Structure 1
Amino acid sequence: MVSLDSPITIVRPHLIEFGVGTASRLGKWAEDKGFKRIFVISDAFNASRVDVLELKGDVTVFSEVTPEPDIANLDKVLAAAEQAKAELVVGFGGGSAMDLAKLAAVLGGSSQTLREVVGPNKVKGPRTVALAQVPTTSGTGSEAGIRALITDPETQAKLAVESILMLADIAVVDPALTFTVPARTTAATGVDAMAHCVEAFTNRKAHPMIDIYAIEGARLVGKYLARAVRDGNDAQARAGLSLASLYGGFCLGPVNTAGGHALAYPLGTRWHVAHGAANALIFPHVLAFNTPSVAEKTRAVMEALGSSVSDDVASVFEAAYGFCETLGIEMTLSGLGVPKDDLDAMADDAFAIRRLLDNNPRDLTRADIRSIYEAAY
């Protein structure tokens, strides 16, 4: 773990509008900035309610965002962006829409290809269009971050692009947009937001400047997630989760996630398990595995989630597993349709994600990963 005097760089969207009913503020902001050509990137459902943003001028809506977007989906977005010739790009949806919006903002009209910008700080500036992000789920925190993930269908691996040039000019976080999210999705995405916070809090790169967001994000999930699952129209609970997701996004830039996300990714790339559901299933296994290396912080996490645990790995696992299971989340790989004969390939894929595994507070060997998948089966 790093110490209080360790250098760290914190980034935020230049403007954050937060609270129920704020979605329409994007239109006013865009009008004040003089943007007349606007390109909205969304999925089919959210495209049908783009009017809530009150955008004026020539608005083009791309409505074909897919979960866990791949290179082909990005190519479609870039082709549509080229036609729109927008001054403002808007990501309107979950993490998939917002990640595609980041890439459209920096690759549209650029001579660089996706392959040339994979990795940290490879995007060449300046960015020529403005970028706005409007999340409609409480999970990824992508509205606050500078990373975008795209699946390579050939390798079934995530390609990660990181650049300060993908930071939003404005993020509009309106919890009312999440009222329609089904209970099961609310549960999974809420645990994803919490996993961002927990993995940052227990990370080898954990920093006191980020810890305050991380532990508060976990506390918000512990307080409000079950309420939102029970009643999707509970405005206070939805706002609590939206804030937790935003705080998780704050954690991702300077610290990032670790082993939990590394093990979750193959579920999405190989078997198209929703990102939130994958993280929820893996969360208790990796949290328990890491406990011997970060016992004090693990206790703080479980207290934030409403459970008192000892340093015993079994008690941590049982409490974390119970937290997820009582939300109605499927907690077995077999229940998600993952075939057992794919566990070895999944372990190979996860073990290759060094950008995340190297952050984990306890070394995860390939055998450890395989054992976790076996236990989760």
Structure 2
Amino acid sequence: MSVYRFQTVNQIISGENSLQSLGEHLYTVNRDIESALVVTQPFCLELDFIDTIKNQLQARGIKVDVVTDILPEPTVSNIERVFQDICNEKYDVLIGIGGGSVLDATKILSVLKTNSQSIRDMLGTDLVESSGIPTVLIPTTSGTGSEVTPNAIVTIPDEELKVGIVSRFLLPKLVILDPVLTLGLPKPITAATGMDAFTHSLESFISNKANPMSDMFALESIRLISSSIVDAYQNGADIAAREKMLLGSMYGGMALTAAGTAAVHALAYPLGGKYGIPHGEANSMLLPHVMEVNMEAITERLSLVAEPMGLTVSGLTPEEAAKQVVAQIVQWTETLNIPQNLKKYGVQEEDLSALAVSASKVKRLLDNNPKTLNLKEIESIYRKLLA
């Protein structure tokens, strides 16, 4: 067996209303916090999350500033503009509360504060030179698992692509997983982010770098999400389903940290970069089609996730069980009303060749795919979504 490694956040606090304990756990981040920056998006100001954070910190004599300018799919320039507004301010901790875009942006702002590098200097793996301002990450969606990964994704409009920064220096000091914060998620966001989390786990399980550590997290994530995603979608106030989704998302993040994602994500990045398709939706649309193209290389592995998904496959061959897995994914996308046609976003037949070329450049992820995909195969996958 080859050598593998695992790394994640220093401390995780989880459970219903766990946000209420943020203040008492800040000592694990920094014992001498005088000022904090909360990074979020405008919609969070309409809820009581931010006031809950501010009140706890201010009660401890901590000065609190709030920025809300992070875009849903943040670009390099968007994060740079936010950084310019805060670059001269001293903060002892950055607190990101929101979806994956906010958490990723918080990580990047953290290392921008302490490094002389630009965002573009950091794009890639292990290029960040030194640690950043300590961070606390608090997800309000159950999708990216960003709170426990060393990854941050940004959009580069001039290249029509989304690119990752991967560095141990992006790992937060503290994570708060409070399912109460996800109760108000609209159905489309519940669906897209939930399927994004499932994609993380499934791709990690079939990836070339899959290992015993990633398998453990991936299979538990698959079990949790499979048993709760429809319930969370149909009844957003189901706190038990919401908690399973939040834990499943976190475990998915841990799985991809140890094993990495593959072709689904590689093909999703150009869709987000050029057409602004939300990442979770792009992954959800692509997932069954990529699995079918990969099938010859993943039949055995794919059959092993049938049982954690709750499928009855006793007596079936691995091939039959693997097909059941793909069929269940297709059924979920229908139940969850995930869009299935790229034309909705303006994609045309004549765009597919350029999309395939863009996806082929995401070598970090395609090299992790269990089957080597050529341009023709990549283009054919996109074409299935133009029906």
User: TM-score of the superposition, structure 1-length normalised?
Assistant: 0.94
1:363 aligns with 2:372: yes
The structural deviation recorded for 1:135 is: 0.4
The structural deviation recorded for 1:233 is: 0.8
SS of the counterpart of 1:55?
A: helix
Match of 1:69 in 2: 74
Measured in 2, the distance between the counterparts of 1:332 and 1:81 equals 41
Match of 1:174 in 2: 178
Indicate how the Cα distance of structure 1 residues 335 and 87 shifts in structure 2: closer, same or farther if over 3 A, else same: same
Moved more, 257-266 or 26-35: 26-35
Moved more, 69-78 or 133-142: 69-78
The structural deviation recorded for 1:31 is: 6.3
1:136 aligns with 2:140: yes
Instruction: Show the 5 A alignment for 1:300-339.
Output: 300-307=304-311, 308=313, 311=319, 316-339=325-348
Instruction: Show the 5 A alignment for 1:98-113.
Output: 98-113=103-118
Conserved? CA contact 1:37–1:84, under 8 Å: no
Indicate how the Cα distance of structure 1 residues 274 and 74 shifts in structure 2: closer, same or farther if over 3 A, else same: same
1:40 aligns with 2:44: no
Measured in 2, the distance between the counterparts of 1:323 and 1:300 equals 19
Conserved? CA contact 2:9–2:173, under 8 Å: yes
Match of 2:169 in 1: 165
The structural deviation recorded for 1:175 is: 0.9
SS of the counterpart of 2:87?
A: helix
Measured in 2, the distance between the counterparts of 1:132 and 1:360 equals 32
Measured in 1, the distance between the counterparts of 2:325 and 2:173 equals 40
Measured in 2, the distance between the counterparts of 1:280 and 1:155 equals 23
Measured in 2, the distance between the counterparts of 1:361 and 1:145 equals 22
Measured in 1, the distance between the counterparts of 2:377 and 2:210 equals 23
Letter in 1 for 2:236: G
CA displacement, residues 95-138 of structure 1 (integer Å, 9 cap, x when unaligned): 111111111111114211112222211212243x2111000000
CA displacement, residues 180-225 of structure 1 (integer Å, 9 cap, x when unaligned): 1111210111010010000000001100111011011111111000
Conserved? CA contact 1:30–1:55, under 8 Å: no
Match of 1:13 in 2: 9
Match of 1:59 in 2: 64
The structural deviation recorded for 1:252 is: 2.1
Which of the residues 244, 254, 277 maps onto 1:240? 244
The structural deviation recorded for 1:296 is: 1.8
Letter in 2 for 1:166: L
Letter in 2 for 1:155: E
Moved more, 270-279 or 300-309: 300-309
Match of 2:50 in 1: 50
Match of 1:117 in 2: 122
Measured in 2, the distance between the counterparts of 1:152 and 1:336 equals 18
The structural deviation recorded for 1:315 is: 5.4
Measured in 2, the distance between the counterparts of 1:219 and 1:315 equals 15
Measured in 2, the distance between the counterparts of 1:201 and 1:221 equals 15
Indicate how the Cα distance of structure 1 residues 235 and 80 shifts in structure 2: closer, same or farther if over 3 A, else same: same
Identity %: 34
Count matched residues. 372
Indicate how the Cα distance of structure 1 residues 306 and 331 shifts in structure 2: closer, same or farther if over 3 A, else same: farther
Match of 1:259 in 2: 263
Match of 1:185 in 2: 189
Conserved? CA contact 2:38–2:66, under 8 Å: yes
Indicate how the Cα distance of structure 1 residues 317 and 249 shifts in structure 2: closer, same or farther if over 3 A, else same: closer
Which of the residues 279, 293, 300 maps onto 1:296? 300
1:208 aligns with 2:204: no
Letter in 2 for 1:215: L
Conserved? CA contact 2:11–2:174, under 8 Å: yes
* Structure 1 gap segments, 5+ residues each: none
SS of the counterpart of 2:17?
A: coil
Which of the residues 19, 24, 29 maps onto 1:28? 24
* Structure 2 gap segments, 5+ residues each: none
Indicate how the Cα distance of structure 1 residues 335 and 126 shifts in structure 2: closer, same or farther if over 3 A, else same: closer
Indicate how the Cα distance of structure 1 residues 9 and 314 shifts in structure 2: closer, same or farther if over 3 A, else same: closer
Letter in 2 for 1:17: I
Match of 2:89 in 1: 84
Letter in 1 for 2:372: D
Match of 1:340 in 2: 349
SS of the counterpart of 1:237?
A: helix
Measured in 2, the distance between the counterparts of 1:123 and 1:336 equals 35
Conserved? CA contact 1:140–1:193, under 8 Å: yes
Letter in 2 for 1:15: Q
Match of 2:225 in 1: 221
Measured in 2, the distance between the counterparts of 1:223 and 1:253 equals 23
Letter in 1 for 2:351: D
Instruction: Show the 5 A alignment for 1:151-162.
Output: 151-162=155-166
Instruction: Show the 5 A alignment for 1:262-277.
Output: 262-277=266-281
Match of 1:94 in 2: 99
CA displacement, residues 59-98 of structure 1 (integer Å, 9 cap, x when unaligned): 1111011122101111122113314321101111111111
Measured in 1, the distance between the counterparts of 2:349 and 2:42 equals 33
Match of 1:372 in 2: 381
CA displacement, residues 255-285 of structure 1 (integer Å, 9 cap, x when unaligned): 1100011111111111111111111111111
Conserved? CA contact 2:205–2:214, under 8 Å: yes
